[in-house]
Amino acid sequence: MLEMIKKIALLSVAEFLLLVFFFKLYSFWVFWGSFGAILGIMLMVEDIKKMPYVKWKKIPLGYLIRYFVYGIILTVGALVDVRALMISFVGIMNMKIVPFLSYKQ
């Protein structure tokens, strides 16, 4: 988990440096989205640790909490501006990109 968090942080810094040329101060929103990605990874790890001990439900509570957090992250970005929404989305997508970068054979 710690390795993935480090890679999310590194990827968000690289994205910030790339986006700052196009979006100026709006590029800071990538860190807001990356915060959501890191929080999502941490919540997912907690859910995975609990899985063997909890009865199976159709929709686990942790799943709902995770997507509620993503919704809050994106809603805050949308309330500011469309560019902030899109860049926050890029930050959240780091959670999907990093596992491909962390793959080991």
- The CA R_g of the chain, rounded to the nearest whole Å, is 15
| Span 23-45, pLDDT tens digits | 999 999 999 999 999 999 999 99
| Span 40-98, pLDDT tens digits | 999 999 888 887 787 777 777 888 999 999 999 999 999 999 999 999 999 999 998 99
Task: Give pTM, 2 decimals.
Answer: 0.87
Spatial contact of 33 and 91, defined as CB atoms under 8 Å apart: yes
